Structure 1
Amino acid sequence: MKFNNCFTTFFFSVFFSVVIFSSSVSAQKAFTRQEINDSIQELPYFSNHLDNYFITGVPTNQSIDRASANAKYQISFKQILSKESLPYDTYLILTYTQKAFWNIYEDSFPFRDLNFHPTISLGKFVYKKNDELAGIATLSFEHESNGRDSIFSRSWNRLSLGYTTNIFKNTTASFKAWLPFAYEEGNPDLLDYVGLAEIKISHELIHDKLSFAVMARKGLNFKNGALRSRIYYNPFKRNIANQYIMLEWYLGQAESLLDYQQSQSMIRIGYVIKSNEFNWFRGKK
């Protein structure tokens, strides 16, 4: 797939845009330390983590048939283990995400791959000198595998450091870097495709109605990587339970662990319960 030049241009455009505009903080009224501390006590212990969705679609880089078209769904939730802050004002959080690739158009509807992703994290709110929210930092231990054996086994572990912040009005950026370990068996060249970091940018065009998000990742082998873009549209008159229609385009490798070396371009559409994990950055109403 010949997408490397435009992908590289986009990747560095995103990176330098974030660096340049990171000082252009939104005029939205940010939450204060006290307001966040009070809000944490009202949060449910158990809630959604990443997007929960069911989408289906077709490839754009190969012929469309019952084998190449598929469905993808994701279930993701988190458990706050304690609402009382730990040392350095951190919070301990357990998360679990399961992503499935389902060949629903083939006979017997086989699952192509299941990816399991449990995580335990320390989260910390970061504040400016005036005690308004500046960002959220996380330090996580992550395990990801497809639960299979023999030549189909794929797994890796990593320590990751993430930071999410507003870069300008209605736009949030998330940066994540990881230190992998215990991944060589079964997928020794995995880092050539997933690299050591990723960037996510999300922007709300119409409040509670229309938004988009993009994720960019480069492998250690610089010709490899992934670019994922999503458009969220709420067709309801009200934002009912954070439900949207999502259009997704995934371009690159490592969408699933089993086929992490395979380049693909997939467009899918479907139903999503959108994550509200970083609604802190939308400011006070």
Structure 2
Amino acid sequence: MYLKYILACVVLLTIKANSQIVEDKKNFRAADSLLKEHSFSVHKDNYFLTGIPLDEDITRNTADVKYQVSFKLRLNSKPLWGGFFPYLMYTQKAFWDIYANSKPFSEINFNPGVAIVRPFYLKGGRLTYGTISLEHESNGRDSIYSRTWNMLAFSLKSQVSPRWTVGLRGWIPLVDKEDNPGLTKYVGYGEASATYQIQPGRWSADVLFRKGSGLINYGSLQTQLNWRPYKDENYYLTLQWFVGYTESLIDYQEHKSMIRLGFTIKPENMGIF
């Protein structure tokens, strides 16, 4: 009789130990998805694109170059309390009137921030990153040309299938309403993103939708098609279309529709958000 109880206890403990080992392996693999990157790595897309407007006349002053530089730095190779990894982030997006006579920069937006990232698996083994970030975005100008805001953001990004990666991100905007009247209506309170691998390793498509605070007004949609010429090189030929508001901070109240073509360097993995 006692032998049956002992055997039952052994079986239960074995099952529990095995499940704990599986869970530990899952946690290790999720964290390893961050650790296999270099501590200094690409954050958002780095690109250099040139294009024309679709909603106004094409002139030397309306065609432009748009480029973005974005990187992140993982501060520790071991997680903090709760399994979070700390990061510093920086993104700079510029609009260059390269076809105008004096070739001025019409706008440069600066976006530094700090974040903590928790990698984990959803049901079905779907790798997911949960991120909390505190960010600042401004154009570095003063007087009536100053545009600045801060956000406390929360995001989830998940690889839901071998071809699909989706993300949801919401934020609490902190805006100086005297200098930037109505900015919150245009930047909104969240965004959704998706990437589809049309032909893995070669062709992919990205969609980024930002919702303004109005019922049907404001917000923006950015879509792009990416082609990777060489599988061993991490750069793409990109066709990008942007329509909506807040592509740049200086003109956040103006509706834009631009199509651009150029080169993009993408994060090696799915990116933290």
State the TM-score bracket (shorter-chain normalisation): 0.7 to 0.9
- Normalised TM-score (structure 2): 0.86
Shift, 1:181, TM fit: 1.4
Rounded to whole Å, the distance in 2 between the matches of 1:160 and 1:39 is 22
1:106 paired residue among 89, 100, 107? 100
Residue 67 of structure 2 corresponds to which residue in structure 1? 73
> What letter is aligned with 1:53?
Y
SS of the aligned residue for 1:32 comes to helix
Rounded to whole Å, the distance in 2 between the matches of 1:209 and 1:129 is 29
Q: Does 1:163 align with 2:163?
A: no
Q: RMSD in angstroms over aligned alpha carbons?
A: 1.8
Shift, 1:279, TM fit: 6.8
> What letter is aligned with 2:240?
E
Rounded to whole Å, the distance in 1 between the matches of 2:35 and 2:228 is 29
1:220-259 correspondence to structure 2 within 5 Å: 220-222=213-215, 223-236=217-230, 238-240=231-233, 242-259=234-251
2:211 paired residue among 218, 243, 249? 218
1:193-204 correspondence to structure 2 within 5 Å: 193-204=186-197
Return the structure number with greater relative CO, CA threshold 8 A, min gap 6: 1
Equivalent pair of 2:175/2:183 in contact (CA under 8 Å): no
Rounded to whole Å, the distance in 2 between the matches of 1:244 and 1:205 is 14
Shift, 1:135, TM fit: 1.2
Q: How many residues align?
A: 247
- Normalised TM-score (structure 1): 0.82
Extract structure 1 runs of 4+ deviating beyond 6 A: none
Equivalent pair of 2:41/2:267 in contact (CA under 8 Å): no
Q: What is the CA deviation profile of residues 163-205 of structure 1, one whole-angstrom value per residue up to 9, with x for unaligned ones?
A: 0013344111110000011432321201111110000011001
Equivalent pair of 2:229/2:237 in contact (CA under 8 Å): yes
Q: Does 1:140 align with 2:130?
A: no
2:169 paired residue among 156, 163, 176? 176
Q: Larger C-alpha radius of gyration, 1 or 2?
A: 2
After superposing the two structures, state which structure 1 stretch, 150-159 or 120-129, moved more: 120-129
SS of the aligned residue for 1:98 comes to strand
1:269 paired residue among 251, 261, 269? 261
Q: Structure 1 pair 275/134, CA: closer, same or farther in 2 (3 Å)?
A: closer
SS of the aligned residue for 1:71 comes to strand
Residue 89 of structure 1 corresponds to which residue in structure 2? 83
Equivalent pair of 1:33/1:133 in contact (CA under 8 Å): no
Rounded to whole Å, the distance in 1 between the matches of 2:41 and 2:33 is 15
SS of the aligned residue for 2:191 comes to strand
Residue 117 of structure 1 corresponds to which residue in structure 2? 111
Rounded to whole Å, the distance in 1 between the matches of 2:52 and 2:243 is 12
Equivalent pair of 1:49/1:277 in contact (CA under 8 Å): no
